[in-house]
């Protein structure tokens, strides 16, 4: 697909500052980065992330259909924010097939390319202030088994004292494994248990803040 080509899209967005709340909206490809910047106002501490974006012939019709499905979960009557499980929303996106054109990666790339320098610096500074996942500090020994919250048969083994794990014989990070299992980029700790305790709870207790 040519990068200069315009088209209509419907999208599903998340924001780390609003866990469990997702925005369903529409725009055109050429306007998507501008739309993301509009949403990233002084009242929102972190940038929105695109979970799913699909090309459609009639974005208004597709948006209306998606929003009607989750109308009971709408946070406010005059807002496009919904308290829903992302898996449910993604399933609906898949159901309507979105003109058989998933453009999530392309939208994410556009958002990344068009982020201004100030926002990029802000993201970096935020990351610097957030402690990295550290199994040693969290008192989770090397060799420990972590269990996936959504399917107890799925496990990883802690491979070092920082953040590496072994999954199906492959050395990787907990973030990468979680992305593969969930289907999109997430903060991984809440998706795993260590000795029946959520890893996010251990993280928060260890570092004294939310991940």
pLDDT value at residue 168: 92
pTM over 0.85: no
pLDDT value at residue 29: 62
Question: 60: how many CB neighbours lie within 10 A of its CB?
Answer: 11
Determine contact, residues 84/22, Cβ cutoff 8 Å.
Answer: yes
pLDDT value at residue 135: 92
Distances from the Cα of 121 to the Cα of 13, 118, 124, 125, 127, angstroms:
22, 5, 5, 6, 10
φ/ψ (deg, to 5) at 42: -65, -20
- Residue 125 sits at the vertex; the CA angle it makes with 124 and 128, to the nearest 5 degrees, is 90
Spatial distance between the Cα atoms of 124 and 93, rounded to a whole number of angstroms: 32
pLDDT value at residue 108: 67
Sorted by where each begins, the domain ranges of the chain are: 8-129, 145-207
pLDDT value at residue 96: 62
Express each pLDDT in 176-191 by its tens digit.
898 888 876 667 888 9
Average confidence (pLDDT) over 160-188: 85
Query: Number of C-alpha atoms within 13 angstroms, CB side, residue 73?
Result: 18
Express each pLDDT in 141-153 by its tens digit.
999 999 999 888 9
Average confidence (pLDDT) over 91-111: 66
């Amino acid at each position: 697909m040519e990068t200069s080509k315009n088209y209509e899209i419907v999208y599903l967005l998340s924001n780390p500052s609003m866990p469990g709340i997702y925005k369903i909206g529409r725009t055109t490809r050429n306007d998507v980065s501008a739309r993301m910047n509009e949403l990233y106002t002084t009242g929102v501490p972190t940038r929105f992330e695109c979970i799913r974006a699909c090309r459609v012939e009639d974005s208004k019709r597709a948006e209306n259909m998606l929003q009607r499905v989750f109308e009971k979960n709408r946070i406010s009557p005059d807002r496009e924010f919904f308290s829903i499980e992302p898996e449910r929303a993604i399933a609906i996106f898949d159901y309507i097939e979105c003109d058989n054109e998933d453009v999530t990666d392309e939208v994410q790339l556009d958002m990344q390319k068009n982020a201004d320098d100030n926002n990029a610096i802000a993201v970096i500074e935020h990351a610097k202030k957030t402690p990295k996942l550290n199994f040693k500090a969290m008192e989770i020994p090397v060799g420990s088994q972590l269990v996936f919250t959504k399917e107890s048969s799925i496990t990883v083994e802690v491979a070092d004292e920082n953040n590496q794990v072994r999954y199906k014989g492959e050395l990787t990070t907990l973030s990468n494994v979680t992305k593969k299992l969930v289907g999109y980029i997430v903060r991984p700790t809440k998706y795993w248990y260590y000795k029946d305790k959520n890893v996010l709870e251990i993280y928060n207790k260890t570092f004294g803040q939310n991940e």
